[in-house]
Chains A and B, each alone.
Chain A
């Protein structure tokens, strides 16, 4: 093998060289068409949500705020606490399952239209095009030696990129700390060191990933790209080149009849390669680098139209359809994913709808098991933690249940808890020893809101006493 390798490279070696060669910058050509418009729409919607939503106010606070410094999440009217972590976990599982379902059905729809990497790369490419010009102009500019003009153009591009990235970093931090306060701190140069750090960190990540790394993120970094083949089957929607129709490819005059020349419909104009953001040739078959953005579909349809050929030489299709069979949408894996998703989603909605935004924790005084009062009663001391997880102040009434004639002694009759606060309430409970059947007894604390009817909770604790005399 080594003898032949010196003279003529084998196919294996060509593949290897291809894999290990230094990355060459890809200059995707601009493309127009129905899928390009859909991508732009998705981009505007998603970036609109990202940059706009933090500024929306709701009942006097930021509508959506994952307030990490205060350890509570606001989502419109709801407030979530670290105790509500289960909902977040459920939500993440639902998100993952949705991705599975959509992947099985529609392949890399997520990659092509919704992935932040794609969306931010698109906007960076758009800026690059506005500053440097078309694909041809960009290639020409990069080949030129450095000149005042080239420097000016490159400088402008990077300046806009960096400003945009910083704004992105600022917005990112604004999802986690109140953005209006953050803005005030920013314009008065009073940003905290950690906030500054995260703005720069996220800004740098945006600039690096969308400006420089681009398709390499999808190829080398994205775990989803690697494991999605497990979710693909022959009925999964994908972008593919119709080889039967296209081959043999070759240039020809518009007036020529390709059948007479022995040619297929592909005129080998390489437009599909030029528009590809990951720099592949869709005509080589399925490739994991393909992010399913459909840019090649748009451009090829244009070319087909100009040639007066039917559209769809490159199109959204399935492996099965390419083989001339019917595509099945309802398949076992789709049904399983969809059922699981429905169950989990139902569980989440039910859990949030029936969620009681009130929590009561009971801590028994650990220093003494029990005291005996002068009247001969057995006394236990507790600290109650009342968590008001609603958005308004509450007044609570506290009762004890479960032990006969139990007396509850607290500093005041009512417990007042401001919105979103934890209140510590020391209480004493006194019980006649005759009413204590055993040394350890269950006792229930019942907390009920007087401000908001229906807001109540019961928590069980232990009441300790002496061993009853026989």
Chain B
């Protein structure tokens, strides 16, 4: 009946904090790194001008850049977690 109950159990019973953290935290770290690398190459003021927002400050550019990166990396982490779920769910009674 239960081929590999531990995997299912793990998915169900990982502490919520660990599930949230495993998506938001690695993505945060990678987004920080990406932000540093990206903005040491590109000046957000230049990018803002090119994109048609000349009034965008650099601090604003960094902030938007960081959260855009975080959103992307968080989606990626979230999908990894989602696809880790076993396809054939054993029934637990």
A195 within 8 A of B: yes
When the two chains form their complex, are residues A23 and B17 in contact, meaning their CB atoms are under 8 A apart? yes
Given the known interface contacts A20-B13, A23-B17, A220-B18, the answer about A82 and B59 at a Cβ–Cβ threshold of 8 Å is no
Shortest beta-carbon distance from B17 to chain A in Å: 6
Tell me, in angstroms, the Cα distance from A198 to B58 when the chains sit together: 14
Contact of B40 among A82, A193, A194, A223 (CB under 8 A): A82
| B59-89 Cβ-contact flags toward A at 8 Å (1 or 0) | 1101100000000000000000000000000
Q: Mask for B1-27, Cβ within 8 A of A = 1, else 0?
A: 010000001000111011001100110
B13-66: which residues lie under 8 A (CB-CB) from chain A?
13-15, 17-18, 21-22, 25-26, 29, 40-41, 43, 57-60, 62-63
* Mask: chain A, 209-227; 1 = CB below 8 Å from B; 0 = not: 0000100100011010000
Is the interface on chain B under 10, 10 to 19, 20 to 34, or 35 or more residues? Answer: 20 to 34
Q: Kindly state the separation between the CA atoms of A22 and B18 in the bound complex, as whole angstroms.
A: 11
Q: Are A69 and B40 in contact (CB under 8 A)?
A: no
* B contact residues around A16 at 8 Å (CB): 9
Choose from B17, B26, B43, B63 the contact partner of A197 (Cβ within 8 Å).
Answer: B63
Contact of B58 with A69 in the complex, beta carbons under 8 Å: yes
Q: Specify the chain A residue showing the minimal Cβ separation from B93.
A: A2
Flag if A220 contacts B43 (CB, 8 Å): no
Complex Cα spacing A82 to B62, Å: 14
- A120–B60 CA distance with the chains assembled, in angstroms: 28
A103 within 8 A of B: no
Measured CB to CB, the nearest residue on chain B to A70 is: B58
Docked Cα-Cα span, A197 to B64, in Å, equals 12
Q: How far is the CA of A193 from the CA of B26 in the complex (A)?
A: 27
What chain B residues lie within 8 Å of A71 (beta carbons)? 43, 58
Cα(A213)–Cα(B21), bound, Å = 11
Determine the distance from Cα of A221 to Cα of B27 in the docked complex, in whole angstroms. 12
Contact A220 B59 (CB under 8 A): no
Q: How far is the CA of A2 from the CA of B57 in the complex (A)?
A: 63
Chain B binding surface SS class: helix
How many residue pairs between the two chains, A and B, have CB atoms under 8 Å in the bound complex? 45
List of B residues within 8 angstroms of A70 by Cβ: 58
Q: Does A177 contact B (CB under 8 A)?
A: yes
Contact A20 B59 (CB under 8 A): no
Q: Which of B14, B17, B57 contacts A194 (CB 8 A)?
A: B57
> Is the Cβ of A194 less than 8 Å from the Cβ of B21?
no
- Flag if A192 contacts B57 (CB, 8 Å): yes
Q: Across the interface, do B59 and A195 meet the contact criterion of CB distance under 8 Å?
A: yes
For A17, give the chain B residue with the smallest CB separation: B13
Is A194 touching B18 in the complex (CB atoms < 8 A)?
A: no
- In the complex, residue of chain A having the shortest beta-carbon distance to the beta carbon of B5: A2
A residues contacting the other copy or chain, number (CB 8 A):
24
Distance of A68 from chain B, by nearest CB (Å): 6
Q: Is the CB of B59 within 8 A of A194?
A: yes
Asked if A69 and B59 sit within 8 Å, CB to CB, the answer is yes
Chain B residues contacting A216 (CB-CB under 8 Å) are 17
Contact of B18 with A68 in the complex, beta carbons under 8 Å:
no
Q: Which of A20, A69, A220 contacts B21 (CB 8 A)?
A: A220
A192 to chain B: which residues have CB within 8 Å? 57, 59
Which residues on B sit within 8 Å (CB–CB) of A350? Answer: none
A88 to B40, CA, bound (A): 10
Closest to B29 in A: A223
* A68 engages B59 (CB within 8 Å): yes
By a CB distance below 8 angstroms, the chain B residues around A23 are: 15, 17
Near B by CB (< 8 A), chain A positions 195-250 give: 195, 197-198, 213, 216, 220-221, 223
Interface presence of A189 (CB below 8 A) = no
Contacts of A223 in B (CB 8 A): 26, 29
Distance (Å) between the CB of B31 and the closest chain A CB? 13
| Residues on B with beta carbons closer than 8 Å to the beta carbon of A68 | 58-59, 62
Bound Cα distance A216, B2 (Å)? 32
Closest to A176 in B: B59
A274 to chain B, nearest CB (A): 23
Indicate if the CB atoms of B57 and A85 lie closer than 8 Å: no
Q: How far is the CB of B70 from chain A (nearest CB, A)?
A: 11
A69-B58, A220-B21 given; A198·B40 CB < 8 A? no
- Tell me whether A220 and B17 are in contact (CB under 8 A): yes
Distance A216 CA – B16 CA, assembled complex (angstroms):
12
Minimum Cβ distance to chain A for residue B41 (Å): 8
Per the bound structure, the CA–CA distance linking A162 and B21 in Å amounts to 23
Residue in B closest to A213 when the chains form the complex, CB atoms? B17
Chain B hits for A85, CB < 8 A: 40
Do A221 and B57 have beta carbons less than 8 Å apart? no
Q: Are B25 and A221 in contact (CB under 8 A)?
A: yes
Chain A 184-195 interface mask (CB, 8 Å, partner B; 1/0):
000000001111
Of all chain B residues, the one with the shortest Cβ separation from A85 is B40
Residue pairs across A and B with Cβ atoms less than 8 A apart, 16 shown, are: A2-B2, A16-B9, A20-B13, A20-B15, A23-B17, A68-B62, A69-B57, A69-B59, A82-B40, A194-B57, A194-B59, A197-B63, A220-B15, A220-B21, A220-B22, A223-B29
Apart from A68-B62, A192-B59, A216-B17, 14 more pairs, CB < 8 Å: A2-B2, A20-B13, A23-B17, A69-B58, A69-B59, A71-B43, A71-B58, A88-B40, A195-B59, A198-B63, A213-B17, A221-B25, A223-B26, A223-B29
